């Protein structure tokens, strides 16, 4: 009885071990995959110059002076160029709330680390475009 | 204590690099295994938050406050908003009042879950460190769904709140709270039912209600002594919804030593706080009316404030949190801001509580007081 009982216990343990080996991991295989972020996520911004009115409400709303405005740089009739300094940004969302012309939004991209400090200052060319589609790059490729 | 004993003493710095000391430091004088003197040192986290507030306008100031204590971000930013609302007349909609209160209690549950895991981790129970933190993720997901940020919610603004409750958020909050309710008996059994845990906490860090009042402790640290001192009941904020419902102040009164508390009582007290918070949320959710979430004139009214003084206070997770503001005529920024954190008192109470304890009990002592370094350095 003792031997058979022990054997039963051993098989029970082996069952758990094998199940653990072939189970998918609980963690994400970052950076190749990531969890899904809600639409409201306050990630990096996107500036839509077509609708921008150069009112500088976002600049005044920013608590850490992370936004710089250049009103001379015009692509359309009324717009301006915005420079976002992500070394200072708190992602508090006040600039997006202050914008009355639907020209500034948050995107669900939250991993904006760079090797060089200068690369974190997003100029007008970088802030108006998404360099990658967040869903394409962080799709559930490994699951 | 005779001077001969002190001849054999040695001095050990607990922190700031120690893993359990979260960036703070205490100078301990030790004879054998016993601590004879404890000298807490503040200042490692000083970021001059009060001075920073003088350069931010009244809509921006709360962002500084919530970064002082990330775990209770909404409870930390609210006193500033309350102080602004004392200076300028704003009509807070009913819906916003209830939403603020629900969010406040939800944040309190999240903060207590964090503390509870951290306390167990400091005592060396690493499974108990991770289990409440897994539950905490559900709360964080709900915060993210509502506000877009996991910790620093930036939810309140003078005149109301920033984001409206969505069905998705309510579903996620329901999920998080159900999880807390389901797992509470398991955790109670694992912590308060565990002989190892009881041995490490019972009779450790003992103080009486009289001493607690003298040292200026507040929150769960004083409620564990049997004193029902709770700002939510004693001085309900007119812009919150605590007076709309019936609820009881959570108080632990141990029959073995009435009017006194040890580390174990404070653990039970914090369990009871979670139950009360769950109760308040359950009672407030059906009362949520339809309507606006912010005073329509809040933006223009909070732009320039009249001359005056505002004193906002709230019962935080760790105790009474207050902000005092002084403004001049047509002020865009406060002339002076003063923050009173709850943890300065509990941190310096270590000076009186620790002497006589064993060195191995030190994490249990400061863990049970729930100090958060941001609050005493600001």
Query: How many Cα neighbours within 13 Å face the side chain of A142?
Result: 14
Residue A137 confidence (pLDDT) above 60 = no
- Mean pLDDT, residues B248-263: 86
Render pLDDT for A6-44 as a digit per residue (tens, 0 to 9): 888 888 888 888 888 888 777 777 777 777 888 888 888
Q: Is B351 domain-assigned?
A: no
Residues A43-58: pLDDT tens digits? 889 988 888 898 989 9
In a domain, B375, yes or no: no
Model confidence band, residue B2 (pLDDT cutoffs 50, 70, 90): low
Q: What is the pLDDT of residue A133?
A: 59
Compute the nearest-CA separation of B315 from chain A (Å): 24
Q: pLDDT tens across B159-183, in order?
A: 889 999 999 999 999 999 999 999 8
pLDDT digit string, tens, across residues A87-128: 999 998 889 988 888 888 898 888 888 888 888 899 888 888
Q: Cis bond leading into B211, ω under 30°?
A: no
Q: How many domains does chain B have?
A: 1
Nearest to A42 among B60, B148, B168 (CB): B148
Does residue B100 lie within any of the structural domains? yes
Q: Does A41 touch chain B (CB under 8 A)?
A: yes
In a domain, B292, yes or no: yes
B312 belongs to a structural domain: yes
Considering the domain boundaries, does residue B17 fall inside one?
A: no
* 8 A C-beta contact, residue B162 and residue B155: yes
Cα-based distances in Å from B268 to A89, B20, B253, B259, B357: 40, 22, 10, 15, 22
Interface of B with A in 35-74 (CB under 8 A): 56, 59-61, 63-64, 67
Is B98's pLDDT higher than 90?
yes
How far is the alpha carbon of B60 from chain A, nearest alpha carbon, in Å? 5
Of residues B18 and B351, which shows the higher confidence score? Answer: B351
Count Cβ neighbours within 10 Å for each residue of B118-146 and write b for 16 or more, e otherwise. Answer: bbbbbbebeebbebbbebbebbbbbbbbb
Supply the pLDDT for residue B179.
92
Distance CA A49, CA A82 (A): 9
Residue B337: domain span: 45-342
Q: Is residue B30 part of a domain?
A: no
Secondary structure in 3-state letters for chain A: CHHHHHHHHHHHHHHHHHHHHHCCCCCCCCCCCCCCCCCCCCCCEEECCCCCCCCCHHHHHCCCCCEEEECCCCCCCCCCEEEEECCCCCCCCHHHHHCCCCCEEECCCCCCCCCCHHHHEECHHHHCCCCCCHHHHCCCCCC
Cβ distance B162 to A92 less than 8 Å, yes or no, reads no
**So where are chain A's domains?**
45-132
DSSP letter string, B158-190: TTEESS---HHHHHHHHHHHHHHHHHHHHHHHH
Look at B175 and A143; give whichever has higher pLDDT.
B175
| Mean per-residue pLDDT of chain A | 83
Which has the minimum average pLDDT: B92-106, B187-201, B325-339? B187-201
User: Band of the pLDDT at A143, cuts 50, 70, 90?
Assistant: very low
pLDDT at position B336: 92
CB contact under 8 A, A91 and B168: no
The domain that holds B141 is classified in CATH as 1.10.645.10
Kindly determine whether residue A40 and residue B152, on different chains, have CB atoms separated by under 8 Å: no
pLDDT digits (tens, 9 = 90+) for B15-56: 787 766 777 888 889 988 899 989 988 888 888 889 999 998
Q: Rounded distance, CA B367 to CA B270, Å?
A: 12
Work out the mean pLDDT of chain B and round it to a whole number: 88
Q: Quick one: average pLDDT of B196-206?
A: 86
Query: What is the distance between the alpha carbons of residues B90 and B280, in angstroms, rounded to a whole number?
Result: 25
Architecture in CATH of A45-132 = 2-Layer Sandwich (3.30)
Q: What is the pLDDT of residue B99?
A: 93
pLDDT of A134 reads: 54
Q: What is the mean pLDDT of residues B247-252?
A: 89
Best A57, A58, A88, A90 residue to mutate vs chain B (most B CBs within 10 Å): A90
**Mutate which: B137, B152, B154, B163, vs A, most A CBs within 10 A:** B154
Is B19 inside a domain boundary? no
B52 neighbourhood in chain A, CB within 8 Å: none
- What pLDDT, on a 0 to 100 scale, did the predictor assign at position B1? 57
Query: Which of A 56-75 lie inside 8 A of B, CB atoms?
Result: 61, 63
The SS3 assignment for B315 reads strand
């Amino acid at each position: 009885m003792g031997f058979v009982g022990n054997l039963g216990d051993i098989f029970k343990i082996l069952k758990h071990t094998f199940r653990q080996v072939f189970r998918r991991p609980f963690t994400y295989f970052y950076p190749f995959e990531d969890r899904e972020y809600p639409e409201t996520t306050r990630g990096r911004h996107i500036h839509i110059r077509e609708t921008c009115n150069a009112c500088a409400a976002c600049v005044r709303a920013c608590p850490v002076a992370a936004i710089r405005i250049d009103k001379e740089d015009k692509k359309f009739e009324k717009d301006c160029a915005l420079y976002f300094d992500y070394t200072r940004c708190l992602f508090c969302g006040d600039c997006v709330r202050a914008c009355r012309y639907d020209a500034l939004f948050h995107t669900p991209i939250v991993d904006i680390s760079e090797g060089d400090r200068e690369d974190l200052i997003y100029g007008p060319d970088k802030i108006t475009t998404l360099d990658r589609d967040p869903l394409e790059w962080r799709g559930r490729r490994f699951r | 204590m005779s001077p001969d004993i002190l001849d054999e003493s040695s001095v050990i710095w607990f922190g700031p690099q120690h893993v359990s000391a979260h960036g703070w430091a205490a100078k301990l004088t030790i004879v054998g295994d016993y601590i004879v003197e404890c000298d807490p040192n503040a200042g490692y986290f000083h970021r001059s938050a009060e001075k920073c507030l003088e350069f931010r306008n009244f809509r921006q100031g709360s962002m500084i406050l919530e970064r002082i204590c990330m775990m209770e971000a909404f409870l930390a930013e609210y006193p500033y908003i309350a102080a602004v609302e004392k200076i300028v007349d704003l009509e807070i909609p009913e819906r916003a009042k209830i939403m603020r209160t629900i969010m406040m209690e939800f944040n309190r549950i999240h903060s207590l879950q964090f503390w509870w895991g951290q306390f167990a981790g400091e005592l060396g129970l690493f499974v108990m460190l991770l289990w409440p933190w897994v539950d905490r993720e559900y709360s964080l997901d709900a915060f993210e769904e509502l506000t877009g940020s996991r910790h620093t919610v930036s939810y309140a603004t003078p005149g109301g709140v920033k984001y409206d409750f969505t069905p998705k958020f309510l579903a996620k909050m329901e999920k998080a709270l159900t999880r807390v309710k389901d797992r509470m008996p398991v955790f109670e059994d694992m912590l308060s039912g565990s002989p190892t845990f009881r041995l490490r906490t019972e009779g450790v860090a003992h103080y009486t209600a009289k001493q607690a009042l003298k040292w200026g402790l507040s929150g769960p640290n004083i409620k564990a002594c049997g004193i029902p001192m709770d700002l939510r009941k004693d001085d309900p904020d007119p812009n919150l919804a605590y007076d709309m419902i019936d609820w009881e102040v959570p108080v632990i009164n141990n029959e073995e030593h009435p009017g006194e508390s040890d580390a174990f009582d404070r653990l039970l007290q914090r369990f009871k706080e979670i139950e009360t918070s769950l109760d308040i949320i359950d009672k407030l959710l059906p009362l949520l009316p339809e309507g606006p979430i912010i005073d329509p004139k809040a933006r223009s009214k909070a732009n320039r404030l009249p001359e005056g003084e505002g004193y906002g206070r709230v019962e935080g997770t760790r105790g009474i949190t207050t902000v005092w503001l002084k403004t001049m005529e047509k002020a865009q920024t406060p002339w002076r801001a003063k923050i009173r954190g709850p943890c300065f008192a509990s941190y310096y109470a270590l000076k009186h509580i620790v002497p006589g304890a064993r060195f191995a009990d030190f994490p249990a002592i400061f863990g049970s007081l729930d100090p958060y370094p941001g609050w005493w350095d600001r």
